[in-house]
Structures are given as structure tokens and as C-alpha cells.
Amino acid sequence: MNQQNPSILRSTKASRHGPAQPGPAHPQRLESRAGALKVAEIVLEPGLSLCDAIARPLASLGIRSAGVVLSGVTLGPMQFVMPSHSQTPDHVAYYSETYRPQGEVTLDLATATFGFRDGAPFMHCHALWRDSEGRQCGGHILPLDSSIARRSTVLVFGTPDADMLSRADAETNFTLFGPEPADGGGSGGLIVARIRPDEDLVTGIEAICARHGVTHATIRSGVGSIVGALFEDGTVVSEIPTELVVVDGRVSPDERGQPRCDLEIALIDAAGNIHRGKPVRGQNPVLICCELFIDTESPAAVS
């Protein structure tokens, strides 16, 4: 495993940089663990919180961490927050006030990280949806305060071999998910990973795959934030606080046989604008973190 290789760590640094974090930089910028892949369809029962509805069937499957595809799920009631500028030096960005849409909300595009916080199931979910007037909205769904409105079937990509644990992070001063163990070890068809601040989103994914000896993979779930955005079509997002969700991500070998990532994301910025596109390689530093579930085994057609 190459997690201690300084050349890999340097190669993931974005040429743009985010604001200085409030705490000391963690020495391990790319954290990952591989485990046996379990792909499953689970049923979410109405009346349960989003977190409980997912945690119960995953417990019966022995899955400890998972990327969950929530597109098409209807919530009601739902609560969410959006990215916002921090009012204090304690954080480089923060959350907005809590919003509570009336009625039911169906998610157009959503994935979530499933893991544990303080010993209990927990989730980190970013989503896009449309409001009652048809306007596209997005944000960070509060999983303990949002309920399943209609019975739904969702797809999960999980593993029993690696935990995603939400812990206090001194660098960012947030409580964040991260894989444990995070030493790049383990074996199996699912890589559970986190990219830390100022590492480039695209080259960070490539370096994680290289660490695990992988040249073919599909990003099944990606939840996090980047510093504004630069997209391949020339779009520039100037607002620094963002929240992103991976729309599509594929890794294949380049002409030298090294992993090359083709990535599409959607994000909401601090002004409430929705953006979608392919981030320019080497130009999109992570702001707080990015959590990833990388499938190296099952067919890319699974969706």
C-alpha cells in the first residue's frame, strides 16, 4: 500500500487553495480502507426517520458502512440546511438556518454516507429536489429530523469490513465521517475513503485508487464540499462554501496505465445556486472533506 508515499500526497494538491483551516493539518490527507462489497436493495418503511429506515435493514445485512443511493425517495416532513459563510473564525464555512418545507418532497438526486456516531447509526446526505413550485433546490438533509413518507426501495453499496465513524476533527473543527481503519489496507471490492481539505477532488480519487492498485472503478457515492468550483465547460462558482453530491464517476486506465477519473458533480453554493458539471482536474480543492464509496468490482451498469 502507498498511503505513506509523499509523491502521491503531493500529486493530489490542487493548484487553487481554500481558506486556512482553524486547526492543525492532519498528516494523512487521503484516508481509505477496502472491504468486501455487498450490493443490496433495501426497503425504507414510512414513518421512520431517514436514518432509522436505512439502519434497520443494514444491521440485518451486517453492513457497517455504506453509500446509499436515495434518488426517488419521498420525505415528509423533511428538514435541511444549506452551506453558508461562517460568522466566526472557528470554521471556514458553516450551515444556514434549518429549513422545513411543507408537505412531501421527492429527491431527484441524492446519495448518503451511512456509518456511526457515538455508537449509534448516523448519516450524511446531500440532495437535489424540486419545491412545490417546481424550483430546483438542494442541501444537506438532516437524517434524524426527516421521515420517510412513502415506501421506497433503494440501492446500497456497503461493507462489513470498514467503519465510517463520525468523530471530532481538530483540523476543521467539525465532527466528520472518516474510514477506520484508515491506513489504505484491507481487501475487497469496495473502497471507503475520505479526502481532506485542499487536496484536489479528482486527483485525490485517482491517488486513492492507485493506493489500492485499482484502475477500473465506479464512484457509487460521493458527499462533501469543494472551494467554489471550476468546471470543464468554463463555469466558475465564486462562492467558497458549497455542498456537493457525485452524479457520476468512473475510473479507467490512462495511456500509462494509471487510474484516471472522469467525474460529474452537482453542488449548491452559499447563494443557493445549483450547479452541475465536470470539475477541472487539479483545480478543485476540497473545502471540508469528501466521503467516497468506490466500487471496484460490480458492473458499472448497476444504478
CATH code of the domain containing 201? 3.30.1330.80
Q: Residue 299 — pLDDT band, cuts 50, 70, 90? A: low
Across residues 198-222, what is the average pLDDT?
Answer: 97
**CB–CB of 213/272 below 8 Å?**
no
**Which residues, 6+ apart, have CB-to-CB distance to 68 below 8 Å?**
54, 111, 112, 113, 114, 123, 125, 154, 155, 156, 221
Tens digit of each residue's pLDDT (9 = 90 or more) over 73-122: 999 999 999 999 999 999 999 999 999 999 999 999 999 999 999 999 99
* Residues 268, 284 within the same domain: yes
The neighbouring-strand residues paired with 222 are 292
Of 158, 181, 206, the one marking the end of a domain is 158
The neighbouring-strand residues paired with 265 are 246, 277
Across residues 42-66, what is the average pLDDT?
Answer: 97
Q: Distance of alpha carbon 138 from its chain centroid, rounded? A: 14
* Residues 203, 122 within the same domain: no
* Residues 168, 283 within the same domain: yes
Q: How many domains does the chain have?
A: 2
For residue 2, being part of any structural domain is answered with no
For residue 284, being part of any structural domain is answered with yes
CA distance linking residue 264 with residue 279, whole number of Å: 7
Tens digit of each residue's pLDDT (9 = 90 or more) over 174-195: 999 999 988 888 899 999 999 9
For residue 7, being part of any structural domain is answered with no
* Residues 130, 147 within the same domain: yes
Across residues 197-215, what is the average pLDDT?
Answer: 97
**CB–CB of 293/251 below 8 Å?**
no
Of 158, 185, 205, the one marking the end of a domain is 158
For residue 10, being part of any structural domain is answered with no
Across residues 242-247, what is the average pLDDT?
Answer: 98
Give residue 298's pLDDT.
Answer: 76
* Residues 153, 212 within the same domain: no
Give residue 1's pLDDT.
Answer: 33
Tens digit of each residue's pLDDT (9 = 90 or more) over 212-241: 999 999 999 999 999 999 999 999 999 999
Tens digit of each residue's pLDDT (9 = 90 or more) over 66-85: 999 999 999 999 999 999 99
CA distance linking residue 156 with residue 235, whole number of Å: 32
**CB–CB of 295/217 below 8 Å?**
yes
Give residue 300's pLDDT.
Answer: 61
For residue 15, being part of any structural domain is answered with no
Give residue 135's pLDDT.
Answer: 87
131: DSSP letter: -
Of 158, 176, 207, the one marking the end of a domain is 158
**Which residues, 6+ apart, have CB-to-CB distance to 127 below 8 Å?**
70, 80, 107, 108, 109, 110, 138, 139, 141, 245
* Residues 81, 192 within the same domain: no
Across residues 30-47, what is the average pLDDT?
Answer: 97
Mean pLDDT score of the chain:
93
For residue 165, being part of any structural domain is answered with yes
pLDDT at 199 > cutoff 60 = yes
pTM of the model: 0.94
**CB–CB of 190/32 below 8 Å?**
no
Give residue 174's pLDDT.
Answer: 98
Q: What SS3 string covers 185-234?
A: CCCCCEEEEEECCCEEHHHHHHHHHHHCCCCCEEEEEEEEEECCEEECCC
Percent of the chain surpassing pLDDT 70: 95
Percent of the chain surpassing pLDDT 90: 88
Across residues 124-128, what is the average pLDDT?
Answer: 98
CA Rg value for the chain: 18
For residue 303, being part of any structural domain is answered with no
pLDDT at 61 > cutoff 70 = yes
Q: What's the helix, strand, coil split of the chain in %, to 5?
A: 10, 50, 40
**Which residues, 6+ apart, have CB-to-CB distance to 27 below 8 Å?**
none
For residue 12, being part of any structural domain is answered with no
Give residue 6's pLDDT.
Answer: 36
Across residues 140-164, what is the average pLDDT?
Answer: 97
Structural domain of 251: 30-36+160-295
